[in-house]
Structure 1
Amino acid sequence: MAIDVNSEDGLIIRKLIPLGTLPCAQFSALCENTVIEGTRGGTLFKKGDTDPRLIYLLSGEVTLQAEGLIIEVIAAESEAARFALAHQIPRKIDAVANGVVRFLRLDADTVNNPTPLDYKEDNSYMVIEEPEDDPNDWMTALLKSPVFQRLPPANLQKILITLEEVCFDEGETIISQGDVGDYYYLIKSGYCLVSRKPSPNAKDIKLAQLGKGEAFGEDALLSGAPRNVTITALTNMVLLRLDEQHFSSLIKEPSLKFIDQAQMQEVLNQGAILLDVRSQDDYKAGHLPGTINAPFFSLRMQLKTLNREQPVVVVCDNGKVSEAAAFLLLRHRFNALILKGGMNGSAAKPEVKKVPESEHETAHFVIDDGIETLISSVDESRPQNRQEQSGQILSAADSGAPEDQLRLMKSENEALRRANLQLNDKCLKLEVEKEEVLRQYRILQKQMEKLTQMLGKAKGDQGVL
């Protein structure tokens, strides 16, 4: 009998790993062609069995044992039951039903080779929905992450086994800017604040607020650089952390994709974007033709300017910062590729475009408030300055003094560069302030709704009296 995707069994199957990442149509087809089996006691499989079908427990308990020694008891309500029971083929242990159990037998190809993540915006793609009556289901929220959707089921299982639970009190600092990277963190419950100091004596700039199912801490592990932000607990928090070694082998290696120079040229010919994530000064000193400069520290603010329809090839000096940038892009559903070894790598030594100071290319990124970060004037609020400087250059040219002309052009270019940096910084701060205002607005809106409900209830009580 076919399984109704909206039935209680269908909702349970949605949470099985990695079935919850299947497209809606494929998930529905699987339910239509799958039969739920049941048994009262007995053996589900024995050590040495080679049946390639994998077994998922839906209800009841199963004991995993070897030569009479109990290894583990799996209950259908446990997190372990989201994975296939002892999935290695041939079987290494026995699985014995404890009383009445219900289970699925599924083809291993369906389970281990789910459809790759589609990077197009499609709200109907994911079939996982967080139930309203299960607010603490952090794993469901975690599996919505595009990074975790790319991981093999075996890696997901190893991650959950390896994760270490740690707790932090409200106001406690979880990681500090400048620290050495040691762990990758997943939020099981609670909220935290991401902030950064542009300079040691500057005030903290609030960048984001993170909650259940979100992750942080990968930048330092990928780039090898110190922590670039501070994370502070806004509430009491429960976190799950993974050390650097396991992060690299279980998440980084299967997630990131590297290409050489020849492959890069091929994808560029097909319409990919070439993104240089080095600082503006390094970019100006030399860069690949056709690149867009988006320094890694500000990339989060510029994601909305990129097109998810186009692959993004990430470039830096040695590939390390590119790894962190590509991981960020993957988290936001971009198809990110990394130039192997970076611009200085032995595997790819592309011809670097050196440009005169007056001809530097700069990215044209548009922030949400409509202000373009590249402004072609020194100070738009004082147009007379631009006219005066332009007049000086024209005068120098007319007078036949090329050295004066070059000096004035360099002077104006440097002034433009400084103004552009200042405007970039201002736009970033405005974006952060906007996010904070929106957050406060949402909080006030919820409080207003509660007050309205309380007022309505009070009026109703008075009417009864």
Structure 2
Amino acid sequence: MAIDINSEDGQIVRKLIPLGTLPGAQFNVLCENMNIEEVQGGTLFKKGDTDTRLIYLLSGEVTLQAEGLIIEVIAAESEAARFALAHQIPRKIDAVANGTMRFLRLDAGMVNNPAPLVYKEDNSYMVNEEPEDDLNDWMTALLRSPVFQRLPPANLQKVLITLEEVSVDAGETIIKQGDKGDYYYLIKSGHCLVSRKPSPNAKEIKLAQLGKGDAFGEDALLSGAPRNVTIAALTDMVILRLDKYHFLSLIKEPLLKFITPEQMRKALSQGATLLDVRSLDEHRAGHLPGSINAPFFTLRMQLKTFNREQPVIVVCADGKASEAAAFLLLRHRFDALILDGGMNAVTEPKAKKEAAEQKREAAQFVIDDGTETLTSHADGVHLQHQPQQQAVQAPSISASDDLVRALKSENEALRKLNLQLSEKCQNLEIEKEEALKQGRMLRRQMEKLTQVLNKA
């Protein structure tokens, strides 16, 4: 049975994550195809189940347990109920309904890939279609960010669970230009000022004000460069911060998309925009044909000049600055891609090819065979060292080329393997943290059970 978006159930569904991030029209269509299920106690799923459908609690309570020990009891009114219940597949724990329970069972593909936002643009402004419900909920405002809308629900849940809340007094500096990047920040309440000094002795330039739902601090985490701005609180604030490790593993990894030079050429032939975010001098010294130069520090001011209808391919020297630029574009609802390896990925193969051609041209050379010749003169016969020149063909370098190609292929395979292993290590680290958390909960439960048994 369809859900009326204006009903009590509709209001509950609007708060579910990430369903609450959908624009009004798409959310209405989704509700028309939802069916609410109801059970009177019983098991919803067991450890090891592989059904990929996600279960959201609408009313009642659910007990999550492992090996007969209670890990958590989730009530429909709690913050935890905004997420799908124990979403990891296969299931790591059992879920049992406590009495009467109403819930949604939704296809994971639909939840992981919500319909894109609809834009209405003209030459002077842009309007995006958004839900009309109250924006006072900071989390709802945050989840409407294009960055968080693109994250898989599992990553989104881990991010929100991992965030650390920090209070900041008015006038306090949150990040300072020149410092090393360590956290990604989200504003829960209050306002702050973004400023920058072009040089150490220059006057500070005010760039922008940020408020509830805004985020900052990703540039230094992505590029590895020092902080390029200073951000100070204008009012008392509550901010949420995510450490660098979790930002890179939970947000950067699933969000940023890389392409090869071959894929870039195909995308450009289909109308994509090529954006070079290096400095003007670097662009003048050498650039890819058809590229638009927009140095990263000026990119924010040029966003309105780019076309959202086609992908934007970002290129820099080595790919690092491109990551920060692509993140900025994604935040402003562009489809951003990154040329993997940057200009180096394009120029290095060309330089190697030119070096090989020069080597082939130098393959013809002259040698002295050391032959002694007799020369007759009128005043006698003399011994003379007469070098005899002959052309010698250098050995073929095809075998050398084959070796270079083999080494290059092996290096690329090792690079990909290294990336896979790094990703696996990050995932294992996250699972380790979750296991430790579950272990702590089990230990507390065991202590409670011990107390009960001692009193018996």
Fold match by TM threshold 0.5: yes
Aligned to 1:389: none
| 3-state SS of 1:177 partner | coil
Shift of 1:197: 0.6
2:338 is the alignment partner of 1:301? no
Runs of 5+ unmatched residues, structure 2: 352-456
Shift of 1:247: 0.9
Shift of 1:283: 1.6
Aligned to 2:390: none
Shift of 1:56: 0.4
Shift of 1:223: 0.8
Q: 1:280-429 counterparts in 2 under 5 A?
A: 280-345=280-345, 349=349
Shift of 1:258: 1.2
**Letter of the structure 2 residue corresponding to residue 131 of structure 1:** D
Aligned to 1:383: none
Shift of 1:130: 4.6
2:142 is the alignment partner of 1:131? no
Aligned to 2:75: 75
Question: Hey, what's the Cα distance between the residues in 2 that align with 1:265 and 1:310?
Answer: 14
Aligned to 1:158: 158
**2:119–2:128 contact (8 Å) kept in structure 1:** no
Shift of 1:349: 4.9
**2:61–2:97 contact (8 Å) kept in structure 1:** yes
Percent identity of paired positions between Structure 1 and Structure 2: 79
TM-score normalised by length of structure 2? 0.71
| 3-state SS of 2:344 partner | coil
Question: Hey, what's the Cα distance between the residues in 2 that align with 1:52 and 1:251?
Answer: 22
Aligned to 2:444: none
Deviations 1:231-273 (A, max 9, x none): 1011111111111111111111111111121211111112222
Shift of 1:83: 1.3
Aligned to 2:393: none
Runs of 5+ unmatched residues, structure 1: 352-465
Aligned to 2:237: 237
Deviations 1:100-123 (A, max 9, x none): 432212223322333356677585
CA pair 261-350 structure 1, distance change in 2 beyond 3 A: farther
**1:60–1:100 contact (8 Å) kept in structure 2:** yes
Question: Hey, what's the Cα distance between the residues in 2 that align with 1:309 and 1:112?
Answer: 22
Shift of 1:20: 2.8
| 3-state SS of 1:87 partner | coil
Question: Hey, what's the Cα distance between the residues in 2 that align with 1:74 and 1:350?
Answer: 60
**2:261–2:346 contact (8 Å) kept in structure 1:** no
Question: Hey, what's the Cα distance between the residues in 1 that align with 2:30 and 2:114?
Answer: 12
Greater Cα shift, 313-322 or 61-70: 61-70
CA pair 53-282 structure 1, distance change in 2 beyond 3 A: closer
**2:314–2:326 contact (8 Å) kept in structure 1:** yes
Shift of 1:347: 9.0
Question: Hey, what's the Cα distance between the residues in 2 that align with 1:52 and 1:310?
Answer: 33
Question: Hey, what's the Cα distance between the residues in 1 that align with 2:107 and 2:98?
Answer: 24
Aligned to 2:361: none
2:272 is the alignment partner of 1:272? yes
2:265 is the alignment partner of 1:262? no
Greater Cα shift, 40-49 or 154-163: 40-49
Shift of 1:313: 1.3
**Letter of the structure 2 residue corresponding to residue 82 of structure 1:** R
**1:192–1:232 contact (8 Å) kept in structure 2:** yes
Question: Hey, what's the Cα distance between the residues in 2 that align with 1:56 and 1:347?
Answer: 51
Question: Hey, what's the Cα distance between the residues in 1 that align with 2:209 and 2:350?
Answer: 39
CA pair 166-23 structure 1, distance change in 2 beyond 3 A: closer
Shift of 1:170: 0.7
Aligned to 2:204: 204
| 3-state SS of 1:88 partner | coil
2:181 is the alignment partner of 1:178? no
Question: Hey, what's the Cα distance between the residues in 1 that align with 2:46 and 2:259?
Answer: 44
Shift of 1:27: 3.0
**2:222–2:323 contact (8 Å) kept in structure 1:** yes
| 3-state SS of 2:70 partner | strand
Aligned to 1:393: none
**Letter of the structure 1 residue corresponding to residue 134 of structure 2:** P
Shift of 1:5: 1.6
Shift of 1:30: 2.8
Shift of 1:141: 0.9
Shift of 1:11: 2.2
CA pair 247-119 structure 1, distance change in 2 beyond 3 A: farther
Aligned to 2:384: none
Aligned to 1:87: 87
RMSD, aligned CA: 2.3
**2:274–2:290 contact (8 Å) kept in structure 1:** yes
Shift of 1:340: 1.1
| 3-state SS of 1:222 partner | helix
Aligned to 2:249: 249
**Letter of the structure 1 residue corresponding to residue 211 of structure 2:** G
Aligned to 2:449: none
Question: Hey, what's the Cα distance between the residues in 2 that align with 1:204 and 1:271?
Answer: 40
**2:46–2:91 contact (8 Å) kept in structure 1:** yes
**1:340–1:347 contact (8 Å) kept in structure 2:** no
| 3-state SS of 1:207 partner | strand
Shift of 1:169: 0.7
CA pair 348-23 structure 1, distance change in 2 beyond 3 A: farther
**Letter of the structure 1 residue corresponding to residue 343 of structure 2:** M
**1:312–1:334 contact (8 Å) kept in structure 2:** yes
**Letter of the structure 1 residue corresponding to residue 168 of structure 2:** F
Deviations 1:282-305 (A, max 9, x none): 222222222211111111111112
